Amino acid sequence: MKALLYKQLRLVAHPMTFVFLFVGVFFLIPSYPYTVAFFYVTLGLFFMFMNGREQRDAAYNAILPVRKGDAVRAACRFSAAVQLLAMVLAVPFAFLSARINPLGTNRGGLDANPALFALGFLLFAVFNVVFLPVFYRSGYKGGVAFVAASACMVPVVLCDVILPHVPGLEWLDAADRASCLRQLPLLAICAAVYAAVTLLSHRRAARLYEKVDL
Amino acid sequence: MNMLEVEGLRKEYPAFTLQDVSFAVPQGAIVGFIGRNGAGKSTTLKSILGLVHRSGGAVRWCGQDVADCEKTFKENIGVVLGGVDFYPKKKIRAITDVTKRFYPNWDEAKYQHYCKLFSLDGEKRVDQLSSGMKIKYLIALALSHNARLLILDEPTSGLDPVSRDELVTLFRSIVADGTRSILFSTHITSDLEKCASHIVFIKDGAIVHSGTVGDFMAAFADRGSTLEDIIVSIERRELDESAIV
């Protein structure tokens, strides 16, 4: 698995996959739906999977001593690592955002707070559960998989825009210490959902690809 | 001793069926897998490698079902499926650096030796290599992890006569010590005549003959005196001239 992950890093990953790791800078834009930043991470991953297809990664895997399913699991784990790293790298920008933008002035959606990161986890979970199985059902239909995943991610972005305006949920749109503490359980739940959904998606993608004749 | 045994291999597609393909690759042999385009050569090789799913049959590596020893099997083979057509913009050095991590018995000194022997420049990109050099690069990779069996799908197709002759000579050197074997598919009979010890002849998804070259020539002596004559005689189909309008 280590060798497969290294292969993913050295040969398959697209430069934009790494550029979009720093989408936390979006949090510095005043009045913007910040979940779009996490969407860009999935766009970088889409580029990576397409790059693998165009560079005929499957033909390279065929000469290696690996099972088809293992190659898929490695690509999926690398993808999850990118998502988690993007999350971690976004944290400093969330703090910076709170300093630059006076609290509560983001008219585009949630402030950069734990609730936003919770939505980020949900967005990644939706991407993983839709994109990975649809892509690996054929091993090459990346466009269809990304359109389907994007359509399913739209409601998550809409939640980001709508939630601050729902009466009684204003605490989700605050970045003060007390509100952040109140949002932490939500973040933990969404992280757990992400972990479970991602693991299941990886298994399903590997199972589907095992059935594909190359 | 047989290194590879294929028994009753079947693969069904809507428009094509591989029917009960059986043959063996003895240790130290060069087995030429011959048949015209679309006969089922690539499908057979891909089924052996697990790239397509078999509808039935068995593949054994040193007597053991490959399903039970897939990792060992794949670590002990070198595969060339029509040259390096992956990562065309990557340097050879980068691909080697990744590839060697998959083989616990990778021998760097051997790799350097073969790079020198084949004049392979690690700084070159894959798309800067000629077709012959691409095949040689994959063979260098296979020999550097001490592959005992090379499986090559039409390695000489599209090469000029000199490059083909070089490769055929290389094949003979590879099996010279009797520890390694080669299974290669081709539709070029002259390559087989120069190096093959065994022939597996496939036609329309079914094996017509499998055995040593001598057996093959004896079995089809009435069809011609050379491999090419025999194959053409068996494969030729009368052209329906009324089909040309």
Q: Are residues B26 and B138 in the same domain?
A: no
Does B69 contact chain A (CB < 8 Å)? no
Residue B8: count of CB within 10 angstroms of its CB: 12
Q: How many domains does chain B have?
A: 2
Q: Do A62 and B97 touch (CB under 8 A)?
A: no
**What pLDDT was estimated at residue A104?**
61
- Binned at pLDDT 50, 70 and 90, residue B157 comes out as confident
| Closest CB to B46 among A11, A55, A214 | A214
In the three-class reduction of DSSP (H, G, I as helix; E, B as strand; rest coil), residue A108 is classed as: coil
| Closest CB to B87 among A11, A65, A211 | A11
| Closest CB to A214 among B51, B89, B90 | B51
**What pLDDT was estimated at residue B138?**
87
Question: Greater confidence, A60 or B239?
Answer: A60
- Binned at pLDDT 50, 70 and 90, residue A99 comes out as confident
Listed range (A79-88, A198-207, B25-34, B226-235) with the worst mean pLDDT:
B226-235
Contact list, B101 vs chain A (CB under 8 Å): 2-3, 6-7
Does B188 contact chain A (CB < 8 Å)? no
Q: Are residues B57 and B6 in the same domain?
A: yes
> Residues 195-214, chain B: which have Cβ within 8 Å of A?
none
**For residues B150 and B143, what is the distance between their CA atoms, to the nearest angstrom?**
9
Q: Are residues B229 and B196 in the same domain?
A: yes
| Closest CB to A59 among B81, B90, B102 | B81
Residue A178, pLDDT > 80, answer: yes
Task: Among B95, B126, B147, identify where a domain stops.
Answer: B147
Cβ contacts of residue B108 below 8 Å, gap of 6+? B100, B144
Contact list, A7 vs chain B (CB under 8 Å): 98, 101
**For residues A1 and A202, what is the distance between their CA atoms, to the nearest angstrom?**
14
Burial class (CB in 10 A: 0-12, 13-18, 19+), B69: middle
- Binned at pLDDT 50, 70 and 90, residue A31 comes out as confident
Q: Are residues B68 and B157 in the same domain?
A: yes
Residue A165: count of CB within 10 angstroms of its CB: 10
Phi, psi angles (nearest 5°) of residue A110: -65, 150
Q: Do A11 and B81 touch (CB under 8 A)?
A: no
Q: Are residues B181 and B119 in the same domain?
A: no
**Domain CATH for B176:** 3.40.50.300
Helical packing angle, B131-144 and B92-99, nearest 10°: 30
- Binned at pLDDT 50, 70 and 90, residue A53 comes out as very high
Q: Do A60 and B49 touch (CB under 8 A)?
A: no
Residue B242 inside a domain? The answer is: no
Q: Are residues B158 and B143 in the same domain?
A: no
Q: Are residues B88 and B131 in the same domain?
A: yes
**What pLDDT was estimated at residue B139?**
85
Q: Are residues B230 and B179 in the same domain?
A: yes
| Closest CB to A59 among B53, B86, B101 | B86
Residue B241 inside a domain? The answer is: no
Q: Are residues B127 and B196 in the same domain?
A: no
Residue A27, pLDDT > 80, answer: yes
In the three-class reduction of DSSP (H, G, I as helix; E, B as strand; rest coil), residue B11 is classed as: strand
For residue B136, what are the domain limits?
Answer: 84-147
Q: Which among A10, A60, A63, A70 is the top mutation candidate for probing chain B, defined by the most B β-carbons within 10 Å of its own β-carbon?
A: A63
Under 8 Å between Cβ of B31 and B198? yes
Question: How far is the alpha carbon of A138 from chain B, nearest alpha carbon, in Å?
Answer: 13
Residue A162: count of CB within 10 angstroms of its CB: 13
Reading the block at residue B194, the tokens are: 């120069």
**For residues A38 and A180, what is the distance between their CA atoms, to the nearest angstrom?**
20
Q: What is the mean pLDDT of residues B177-202?
A: 89
Does B106 contact chain A (CB < 8 Å)? no
**For residues B17 and A106, what is the distance between their CA atoms, to the nearest angstrom?**
63
Q: Are residues B42 and B56 in the same domain?
A: yes
| Closest CB to A63 among B71, B79, B88 | B79
Residue B245 inside a domain? The answer is: no
Residue B119 inside a domain? The answer is: yes
Residue B135 inside a domain? The answer is: yes
Cα four-point dihedral sign A31, A37, A43, A47: positive
**What pLDDT was estimated at residue A103?**
58
Residue B225 inside a domain? The answer is: yes
Q: Are residues B71 and B90 in the same domain?
A: no
Whole-number mean pLDDT of chain B? 88
Task: Among B147, B169, B185, identify where a domain stops.
Answer: B147
Question: How far is the alpha carbon of A48 from chain B, nearest alpha carbon, in Å?
Answer: 13
Residue B1 inside a domain? The answer is: yes
Q: Do A211 and B53 touch (CB under 8 A)?
A: yes
Q: Do B51 and A213 touch (CB under 8 A)?
A: yes
Task: Among B127, B147, B167, identify where a domain stops.
Answer: B147
| Closest CB to A3 among B53, B70, B101 | B101
Contact list, A214 vs chain B (CB under 8 Å): 46, 51-52
Q: Do B50 and A6 touch (CB under 8 A)?
A: no
- Binned at pLDDT 50, 70 and 90, residue B83 comes out as low
Interval A1-22: pLDDT, tens: 899 999 999 999 999 999 999 9
Residue B231 inside a domain? The answer is: yes
Q: Are residues B142 and B200 in the same domain?
A: no
**For residues B80 and B185, what is the distance between their CA atoms, to the nearest angstrom?**
10
Q: Do B74 and A64 touch (CB under 8 A)?
A: yes
Q: Model ipTM?
A: 0.82
Q: Do B86 and A56 touch (CB under 8 A)?
A: yes
